[in-house]
């Protein structure tokens, strides 16, 4: 079976194109969806001029630059988190989109720069070696997004989870319509599970990428008007079960009410926050509002018990915000009222 037809048989390809475009806009990277046979399912989102206008038309550019896909996407599935480096110092990632634990398509994310951006001398020499005008080459290189190794790992893992959940939900939608007249009630249960997985993935990726020791996703319950803990790691069960906060109450309540993120460590001077710090064992933490379509659905919190952490910093807030924006994109037109308990 043609895998592109199978993919578009599960989800409307125009709808998926919009989701892919949103992903690309949030991350500032080139993204396109492929079959295992390297056939384009979608149009390229945010195409890189370095690849489309400079390298691919230059006969002296390395062959990998003119077609930088791995030889066999099927066999790259096991190491997709590592990515593929090209000769000009860029990386590409081919992220499987899974249904029933099998990849039916791939998101090609890249090129991106990992770690330190190459200096002007290196870029000039690389351009001259391929008979490319250095100024043009350097200008095009500036468009390429830079990620830290920690952040790109978080991004690709979360993209994998979110993309796979979207397609799995659409697949279940298709299957349910064909087998049950009570489609709506069954779909609502599938949707709730899908949303629950999204928040679980958000916490898992944020937790691992920041090297946190504790973390939680708190959601706002419209009926009670309080925040409750939906997902947690490293937090005692009794606290998870008994914590409920009004808007403005506690640090998470302030974050939700004001739609404001906080990086909390010993240098923080905001008395509204410092007066609520009652756990001296926590050395640093971040709290970020989970905002979808300008509505705060809850708060993500992660914390470390160590005095110094090179992973958990103010920059972690931007990383988490991008993950939340990906959730926003993934939800499309689905009703956000279903987030409440």
Domain CATH number, residue 241: 3.30.450.40
Residues 75 and 201 in one domain: no
DSSP state of 199: H
Other CB atoms within 10 Å distance of the CB of residue 33: 26
Q: Is the pLDDT confidence value at 72 over 90?
A: no
CA dist., res. 75 & res. 36, Å (int): 10
Q: Specify if 168 maps to a domain.
A: no
Given this model, what pLDDT does residue 174 score? 74
Q: Specify if 30 maps to a domain.
A: yes
Q: Specify if 174 maps to a domain.
A: no
Given this model, what pLDDT does residue 74 score? 63
Higher-confidence residue of 42 and 310: namely 42
208 token code pair = 């691992």
Could you list the residue range(s) of the whole structural domain that residue 243 is in? Answer: 182-339
Q: Specify if 166 maps to a domain.
A: no
Residues 99 and 247 in one domain: no
Residues 90 and 187 in one domain: no
319 token code pair = 């990383």
Q: Specify if 41 maps to a domain.
A: yes
Which residue reads 């190794």 in tokens?
149
What pTM does this model have?
A: 0.77
Phi/psi for 151 (5° steps) reads: -70, -40
CA count, 13 A, side-chain hemisphere, 163: 32
Q: Is the pLDDT confidence value at 341 over 50?
A: no
Total tally of structural domains belonging to the chain: 2
Omega before residue 300 within 30° of 0, cis: no
């Amino acid at each position: 079976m043609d895998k592109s037809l199978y993919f578009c048989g599960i989800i409307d390809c125009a709808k998926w194109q919009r989701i892919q475009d949103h992903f690309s806009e949030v991350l500032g990277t080139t993204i396109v969806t492929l079959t295992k046979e390297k056939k384009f399912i979608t149009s390229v989102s945010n195409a890189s001029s370095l690849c489309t206008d400079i390298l691919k038309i230059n006969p002296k550019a390395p062959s990998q630059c003119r077609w930088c896909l791995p030889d066999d996407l099927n066999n790259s599935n096991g190491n997709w988190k590592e990515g593929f480096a090209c000769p000009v110092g860029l990386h590409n990632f081919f992220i499987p989109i899974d249904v029933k634990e099998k990849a039916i398509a791939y998101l090609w994310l890249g090129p991106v720069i990992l770690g330190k951006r190459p200096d002007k001398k290196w870029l000039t020499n690389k351009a001259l070696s391929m008979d490319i005008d250095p100024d043009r080459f350097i200008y095009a290189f500036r468009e390429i997004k830079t990620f830290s190794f920690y952040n790109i790992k978080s991004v690709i893992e979360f993209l994998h989870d979110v993309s796979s959940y979207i397609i799995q939900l659409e697949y279940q939608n298709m299957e349910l319509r064909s087998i049950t007249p009570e489609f709506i009630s069954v779909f609502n249960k599938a949707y709730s599970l899908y949303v629950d997985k999204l928040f679980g993935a958000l916490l898992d990726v944020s937790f691992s990428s920041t090297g946190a020791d504790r973390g939680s996703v708190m959601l706002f319950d419209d009926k009670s008007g309080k925040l409750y803990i939906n997902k947690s790691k490293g937090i005692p069960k009794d606290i998870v079960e008994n914590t409920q906060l009004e808007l403005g109450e506690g640090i998470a309540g302030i974050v939700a009410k004001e739609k404001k993120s906080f990086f909390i460590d010993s240098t923080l001077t905001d008395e509204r926050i410092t007066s609520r710090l009652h756990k001296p064992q926590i050395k640093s933490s971040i709290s970020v509002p989970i905002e979808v379509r300008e509505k705060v659905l809850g708060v993500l919190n992660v914390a470390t018990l160590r005095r110094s952490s090179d992973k958990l910093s103010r920059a972690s807030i931007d990383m988490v915000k991008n993950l939340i924006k990906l959730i926003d994109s993934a939800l499309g037109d689905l009703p956000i009222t279903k987030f409440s308990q």
